[in-house]
Structure 1
Amino acid sequence: MYSHASELGIYFNDTRFIGVWEMTFNGAAPVSLAKELRFSGNTAVFSMTNPDLPRLGESGRIRRDTFLIRRILTLQQDTFYETVEVKNFDDREHTLQVEQWVGSRFDDVFEVRGFPRPRRGKMLAAEESSKDGGLTTILQYEGLDAQIRRTFIHRLFPAEKIRVSPSLTGHFTRISIPSKSTVALKTIVSFDKPSEGKLMGRPYAQISVPEKMEILARDYLVNPLLGLSIITDNALVNKSIENARRDIFTLLTREESGVLYPYAGIPWFSAPFGRDGLITAFQLLPWNSSLAQGVLQYVFETLGTKFDAFTDEQPGKAFHEMRRGEMSRTREVPFIPYYGSVDSTPLALILLHEYIRWTMDLGQLRKWWPFALRALDWIDTSADTNGDGFVGYAMQSTSGLVNQGWKDSGDSVMHRDGRLAEVPIRLCEAQGYAFRARMGMSALARLLGDDVLASRLRLDALKLRARFQEQFWNAEERFVHLALDGKSRPCAVRTSNMGHCLWAQILTGEQARDVAEHLLSDAMFSGFGIRTLADTETAYNPLSYHNGSVWPHDNSIIMEGLRLYGFQKELEKLALGTYAVLESSDDFRLPELFCGFRRRGSEPPVPYQVACKPQAWAAGSIFLMLKSMLGVSMETDQNYLVFNSPLLTDKISTMEIKGLQCRDWEADLILRRGRSGTTVEVTRKTGPLRVLTVKR
């Protein structure tokens, strides 16, 4: 792996600690045969063989396909473990010279992404030491933040130096492999501090490959998402559910405060993001509530406390992005954390209400209530950028985001003629989120016995809805404007954003019907999903990031909105589009996004070139889609698990759910699709649970 000219590498705390990782055998690179990700995605197994190789110290060649070479790479607890196994299938012994090259420039992730940097820190001299028959090399870099970053390469085998420079080291060892035998070489790489040489408490030098796999399999069972089982009679759907569960687990990271937070996506967004984490946690309810608890704790802990133009921080505002690399620490970029998100704050309040609905965790509610009131105050004050009662944004930071909704590309908010909107911008979905947040906070205030606050919040929400319908609703063409610009002129373009207004329930029933028709029209529905921008708009580009592409998380939110208004046919059509994406995928995963070209026959969707995979809210989309199809909900004032017009498409005839846990109950259920609709059967339950199926 040579990555100085690409984004490849091993990253830690937003820094590329390894940019070169290469191994050769008698001077030649091995030939790839197969690769596989295992467990939670933290282990990669590469199976390879040899090309024709020269013999060492004698004439002749070693025939190709003589060796099976397996490289087993694992990332575990901030440490990188590699075992290289070489098995000799020949009838004679062979000697190989194995070279290992490792290098790093300690690039900040924003350098890798192309951010200009007039100067950077300095590479320090590499250091080497021998111990217990192995060789340790330390690559090190002193950043402009005065922090020294180190990569410790600990080889558990004797090695001799080829080259040692500050940014690149090469070493070799010679191994003799008897006929039909296997030799293993092990390396441990740690970041910023030396490794203790152990994997899950056991000396790595003493662990065989089967033992390593057994240890990692046991650790995988700790996955907090494994307590629930969702199995259908469709193998593809089952594989997709399992992969989504695995991807979310891969992205879960325990923060310094101890909470688990889903990082947004690999490779570019492997960091805490407010909006992404909040939506992912919402998508996982009711299937898993611990994720929502961790996300809410982290978001409330990091609420803004002051006005800081550089980071767009304001009191009570939820963060957008947290980075820990050199460029953030030196304030070359504002992500320390950065607060340029107009919707993270209301989304936090929406998640809080949904979390309490499913868990009735009143202890946490009381603990978080002061933070929730601070967030609510931000919506009522600082977020009202135009003094018109709408939630808006205008970038204060000189190096932040121009657009601060989920479509945060610089060109994602425009007028019908393609002109970009002027700030401050009031997005339609942000008003929907603010409406739903106030309604949810009203319900929570009543739950806590504050009827005065509850009544005020409900009235404020209804007033917002009335203003919204006056200024955001296009009465002539029957759709929701994307936004109001700085002069309160409507951005009269059809976008998927209005689907989020369904989810927020800020629309009347008649308006919701019109919006659903637009969303599922040929102009917006590609056959695989709803485009971010209708193909009839001037700015439409199916290859773009936000102006005509299709985002699975966007579609999952719209599916939930369709369910809330009872649009079963539209929900089914959109769900079948998602199934088609999974059926065409080579790994049964939903990507961050894909291009918005129209579906043609059996052709798969055109991939977006640099889409993240795995990506948290893309993986979460499957779980929110299932929730929407089942129509499952609970209210705070009842212990009924309600299935409202559950829907299983022709792709699924049965769905078995085991280990669904909420509040003080647990249940197993089976759903079956029949001629008269979908039935729900409770096969096991503990606690005071009642299940109610409602059919329209």
Structure 2
Amino acid sequence: MLPLKEDDTYAVLSDQGMADGGERGFYRHDTRYLSRYVWKLPGFSLLFSHTPRPDRLVQHWSHIEGPSQVVGLRRELVLERGGFRERLELENTSLHPQSVEISLEAAADFTDLFEARGWHNAQRTVTGFTYTTEDGLELATHLDITPDSPSRTWRFALKPKEQAHIEVRGTFDSPFHTHGAELPSYEEWARRFPLHLESGRSQGVLEQAIRDLRALLFSLPEGYFPAAGIPWFVCPFGRDSLISAYMLLPWGADVARGVLTYLAKHQGQVVDPFRDEEPGKILHEVRLGELSRTGKVPFSRYYGTVDATPLFVMLLHEYWRTCGDFELVEALKPNWEAALGWMSTYADPDGDGLLEFFPNERGLTVQSWKDSGDSQSHRDGSLAKGALSVCEVQGYAYAAYQAAAQFYRTLGQPDQAERWQARAERLRALFHQKFWLEELGTYAMALDGEKRPLEVLSSNPGHLLWSGIVPEEIAPRLVKTMFSEALWSGWGLRTLGAGEVRYNPLSYHNGSVWPHDTAIFAGGLARYGFYDEALKVCEALFRLAMTQHDLRLPELVGGYPKHEGEPPVPYPAACRPQAWDAASVVYLLRLALEIAKKRPVQGLLEITR
């Protein structure tokens, strides 16, 4: 699969750069505007295919006779907001006249993204390159081609050294004109991150991450917003975007502002079980496709996440701490107060002080970051049932309550500050009492609906260190457990410990390694003063990226133990690039800078002064 993206428009192409069936195509606003886009190039072979940036593809096709090329074809495809442009350049490189015939096959089906991925079935009638949706919206695809050919077939008689070219401009008409300011150029974006590493290999990883972060941006009236990942998550997400924005601070301050402002604007207002919406809750995702708009699926504005709301407050606090802008805290006061209200009411229906969620069979059954349906299991492998209280979410709530206390203290409301500080301390004590597993030296992954702990080794406690909820005296033992052979693969933390009944190194959340998850663990280590261990984790993730052909941290890799000289086993359907993985690279360097204030940092993470 070859993904390309610019702003709200993206393409999912084959390795040869074509949309030739399956889920491949050109998309905008969760709708496929071209389901087929295939150049027929008889006699040509693909010699070179390169994506110098995530918005463009460059290829060289060659027609070879005997030992030499007779006709060469350079193809350059560039995605733009709302469409693309493409140029094919043919050249007769031989000493004799050459005849060339090429053609373009193109079709539009205006399929909703959830259909294209095989998750839903729907019937629609498409006329050529136009379509009227069930809710009356007009969609259209325009292909303007020079030189014109109604049959989209071109025949060239090329003299020796003669050149010819074809230019295509594709436009995808969408009724959703939601963009704001123009996105920064790639060069301007890179200048925001004045980080330079002594290691050339490490610098290559950093530069790729910065390019990917620019590619993932799309523009909304509220500001810049990072798509969660290419290709299937080019839409506003709560959890992913909040964590990514957190990791980009202080250099990505405008991204944090955009994320916070957008999510505040779309904060839950009513109780709607279909969408999992409740007053004060921060949304999970927003989809603009036909199935979402017409209520076939609940994702037009979906709130099925238990962690986005405390993460919203955490990001706002971190934005203020790193950027010094308290005006945004003041402007969003109704929103963070509503978020705190949701956390202490709707998220805690039994009043025990822990945040929990109920599975939604029409939406997400698991509403924490490990959101696959089989990710929450007991020691015997049975799946947890009922309302779940996931451990890391309690850590986020603790950090959010502490943030609220600092907000109120700065606003000159000491009574409110004391109230939320006291709530944070009560939660910290309660959490340790209910979740700590003395036998395993770690915290339970969650409590099930009967308040029974999920007594398994997992990566989740890394987030607890990050949030600060772990008592200082417990941290050394927890860190030792996290680096045990069962959890530490050499590349990162396994999501579920080796030896657990449901452990599978090539599952989505039951033993695989997620780089962003491990990066958060590194942040927790640094927070508690485990600087050597934090740098060990940072270097492991940089080395992981260096094993990849594109120098990217993938969404996840297999949880098999690291073997010297071998790359990690890839997870077949890993998304790349993905926002919180690219952002993790920047975050790891932020940690290295903070550690360097206390002790020298050398090796892969040594930063040029």
Short-chain TM bin:
over 0.9
Distance 2:193 2:433 in 1: 45
CA distance in 2, matches of 1:647, 1:433: 31
Quick one: which of 404, 407, 426 aligns to 1:444? Answer: 407
Is the aligned partner of 1:183 residue 2:135? no
Structure 2 residue matching 1:107: 3-state secondary structure:
coil
| Aligned counterpart, 2:214 | 249
Task: Supply the AA of the counterpart residue of 2:250.
Answer: P
Equivalent residue number for residue 205 of structure 1: none
Specify the alignment match of 1:152 in structure 2.
Answer: 142
In structure 2, which of residues 501, 516, 533 is the aligned counterpart of residue 553 of structure 1? 516
2:588 corresponds to 1:625: yes
Residue of structure 2 equivalent to 1:32: 46
Supply the distance in 2 between the matched residues of 1:252 and 1:193 (Cα, whole angstroms). 19
Q: TM-score, normalised by structure 2?
A: 0.93
Alignment pair present for 1:600 and 2:563: yes
Q: Is 2:508 the partner of 1:522?
A: no
Asked whether the equivalents of residues 630 and 647 of structure 1 are also in contact (C-alpha less than 8 Å), the reply is: no
Shift of 1:446: 1.0
CA deviation profile, 1:532-574 (whole Å, cap 9, x unmatched): 0100211100110001000010011000000000112321221
Deviation of the 1:647 alpha carbon: 5.1
Question: Which residue identity is paired with 1:340?
Answer: G
Deviation at 1:645, TM superposition (A): 2.2
Q: Which has the higher contact order (CA 8 A, sep 6+)?
A: 2
Q: Which runs of 5+ in 1 are unaligned?
A: 53-61, 127-138, 162-170, 195-200, 202-215, 633-642, 657-669, 671-696
User: Equivalent residue for 2:155?
Assistant: 174
Contact 2:515–2:584 (CA under 8 A) maintained in structure 1: yes
How far apart are residue 253 of structure 1 and its match?
A: 0.1
d(CA) in 2 for partners of 1:308, 1:3: 38
Q: What SS does the aligned partner of 1:123 have?
A: coil
Greater percentage in strand = 1
Match of 2:325 among 361, 365, 381: 361
Partner of 1:220: 186
Give CA-to-partner distance per residue, 1:39-66, whole Å, 9 cap, x none: 4x211111111255xxxxxxxxx98621
Task: Spell out, residue by residue over 1:656-679, the C-alpha distance to the aligned partner (whole angstroms, 9 max, x if none).
Answer: 3xxxxxxxxxxxxx2xxxxxxxxx
How far apart are residue 265 of structure 1 and its match? Answer: 0.5
Hey, what's the Cα distance between the residues in 2 that align with 1:504 and 1:193? Answer: 41
- Tell me by how many angstroms 1:122 deviates: 1.1
Q: How does 1:633-648 map to 2 (within 5 A)?
A: 644-646=597-599, 648=601
In the alignment, structure 1 residue 330 sits paired with structure 2 residue 309? no
Deviation at 1:238, TM superposition (A): 0.6
Secondary structure, aligned partner of 1:106? coil
Paired residue for 2:256?
Answer: 292
Alignment-mate amino acid for residue 335 of structure 2: F
Counterpart position of 2:607: 655
Please, which of 295, 320, 340 is the counterpart of residue 376 of structure 1? Answer: 340
* Structure 1 counterpart of 2:5: none
Q: CA–CA distance in 2 between the matches of 1:456 and 1:66?
A: 79
Q: Distance in 2 between matches of 1:63 and 1:116?
A: 50
Q: Which residue of the other structure, out of 11, 25, 42, is the alignment partner of 2:55?
A: 42
CA distance in 1, matches of 2:600, 2:111: 49
Per the alignment, residue 10 of structure 1 pairs with 26
1:98 maps to 2:99: no
- Kept after mapping to 1: 8 A contact 2:36/2:106: yes
Q: 1:500 offset after TM fit, Å?
A: 0.3
Paired position in structure 2 for 1:235:
200
In the aligned structure 1, how far is the partner of 2:268 from the partner of 2:357?
Answer: 16
Q: Which amino acid aligns with 1:221?
A: E
Q: Does the 8 A contact of 1:49 with 1:64 survive in 2? A: no
How far has the Cα of 1:96 moved from its partner?
Answer: 1.9
C-alpha distance in structure 1 between counterparts of 2:526 and 2:35, whole Å: 47
Alignment partner of 1:71 out of 59, 71, 75: 75
SS at match of 1:66: strand
Tell me which residue corresponds to 1:636: none
User: Shift in Å at residue 385 of structure 1?
Assistant: 3.1
Gaps of at least 5 residues in structure 2 are 1-13, 176-181
Question: Structure 1 342/647 Cα, relative in aligned 2: closer, same or farther at 3 Å?
Answer: farther
Instruction: Quickly say closer, same or farther: Cα 1:380–1:258, change in 2 above 3 A.
Output: closer
Alignment correspondent of 1:478 = 441
Matched residues in 2 for 1:455 and 1:239: separation? Answer: 47
Task: For 1:29 and 1:439, locate their aligned partners in 2 and report how far apart those are by CA, in whole Å.
Answer: 67
Q: Residues 438-485 of structure 1, C-alpha deviation per residue, up to 9 Å, x if partnerless?
A: 101111211121111111110000000011011011123321000011
For residues 241-260 of structure 1, the C-alpha deviation after alignment (integer angstroms, 9 at most, x for no partner) is 111001010010002x2411
The aligned counterpart of 2:450 is: 487
The aligned amino acid for 1:144 is E
The aligned counterpart of 2:35 is 19
Partner of 2:373: helix, strand, or coil? coil
Contact 2:186 2:211 in 1 (8 A): no
Match of 1:416 in 2: 379
Question: CA offset at residue 650 of structure 1?
Answer: 2.7
Query: How has the CA–CA distance of structure 1 residues 152 and 299 changed in structure 2, closer, same or farther, with 3 Å as cutoff?
Result: same
Q: What RMSD in Å do the two structures reach over aligned CA positions? A: 2.0
Q: Could you tell me how far apart the structure 1 residues matched to 2:470 and 2:231 are? A: 37
Asked whether the equivalents of residues 386 and 424 of structure 1 are also in contact (C-alpha less than 8 Å), the reply is no
Higher Cα Rg: structure 1 or 2?
Answer: 1
Q: Deviations over 1:609-655 (max 9, x none)?
A: 111101000101111111222226xxxxxxxxxx6525524334x41
Q: Number of aligned pairs?
A: 587
Q: CA deviation at 1:110?
A: 0.7
Partner of 1:568: 531
The CA distance in 2 between the partners of 1:97 and 1:328, in whole Å, is: 43
TM-superposition CA deviations, 1:576-619 (whole Å, max 9, x none): 22122122111111011111111112110011111110100010
> Which of 313, 329, 335 is residue 349 of structure 1 equivalent to?
313
